[in-house]
Structure 1
């Protein structure tokens, strides 16, 4: 079956789509067959008009007075988001955060399979974490292709982030999920998604103080 073709979808819309998917998955589990954008809006605190606009990018349209068919909406969101596909990844740094991410079975439900970890700690190299092998970081280039991994998750100390990034790019990694506070620039062909826990903490603390 051919992969559906979609128009350009703005990044803010893409970030909201998993919210809609989680919502309709709950509804389907409850036996709900149809849902309106207004009903989704009430659960997610997103304007109904914004929800309808976001879904229109995926060529998903509701029926007047009925809304969206829940099963069809779930399938359409899954097809676009790619959560049902398997994407192999390597974990760069298997300290406390890296280990926790490897052990997070929820990631595999969203299509991310961490197939190996890489570290410099001799006490970790040669071990396994939840069945996932840990190798010396110097072996990344030699092992990356056989692992079938094009994604690297960065959970290394910030002072090594730039060096490890260069190592990943040289090894043929195509996308980086960066958990370090360091934001870097690399080839435009490399996809980078920054998830700074510390930045989110700063925002949360600031908003708490303002309130």
Structure 2
């Protein structure tokens, strides 16, 4: 039987649902309704039910969802039930912060290696790992069997590093570099552009200010 395809828009909301479920677990809640979970996630209850139906979870009328079971379902759908090795490339201020953040979450991901090309950075210890030299990037990726990488480097070297990561076996890249990366089919790139996000917020602020005037 072929698995039902999950829309990209639903996939984008699954981490939000997982965070809400983790919050409920931390609060000692064992059962939740679609309304309560939707409110925590900031979506409509109908939308939440549609999204969860792709995972085969429909809840029970009058009873709701078992929080622990649903949390496990969402985590499994996202693929964060194991110990995915992540290589972070570029250990400047941002890369340093990202390394500590990922190392501290301990939920499905593991910072396997840190790589940089700056002599003053190479050999230092960040998040319990010694920063390795950029010339050894392919060897590091293969040694750690990493399929996910985070790029936090200057824009002018990002495409070359991206090509090297893909050639070494990386199939998922999270980039904080303000440029579009070209990758072959089968490689997923997620881009976080802080400047773009701030510009979008500025746009909404202007709209709200205009409405108030």
Aligned residue for 1:189, secondary structure, equals coil
TM-score w.r.t. the length of structure 1 is 0.90
**Corresponding residue of 2:100:** 103
**Any idea what the Cα deviations from partners look like across 1:53-80, whole Å, max 9, x if unmatched?**
0000000011112211222211211221
The answer (yes or no) to whether the contact 2:149–2:170 under 8 Å persists in 1 is yes
**Any idea what the Cα deviations from partners look like across 1:3-62, whole Å, max 9, x if unmatched?**
xx8421111111111221222222233332321111222233311110000000000011
Structure 1 runs of 4+ with >6 Å offset? none
Q: Assess, with a 3 A threshold, how the Cα gap between structure 1 residues 11 and 107 changes in structure 2: closer, same or farther.
A: farther
The answer (yes or no) to whether the contact 1:6–1:58 under 8 Å persists in 2 is no
Alignment of 1:141-152 (within 5 A): 141-152=138-149
Partner of residue 8 from structure 1, selected from 5, 9, 29:
5
Aligned residue for 2:57, secondary structure, equals coil
The answer (yes or no) to whether the contact 1:89–1:151 under 8 Å persists in 2 is yes
* Structure 1 residues without counterparts, runs of 5 or longer: none
Alignment of 1:50-199 (within 5 A): 50-105=47-102, 108-199=105-196
TM-score w.r.t. the length of structure 2 is 0.89
RMSD: 1.7
Instruction: Count residues with an aligned counterpart.
Output: 207
* Structure 2 residues without counterparts, runs of 5 or longer: 209-213
Aligned residue for 2:181, secondary structure, equals coil
**Any idea what the Cα deviations from partners look like across 1:138-178, whole Å, max 9, x if unmatched?**
11122321122121110001122112111212222222111
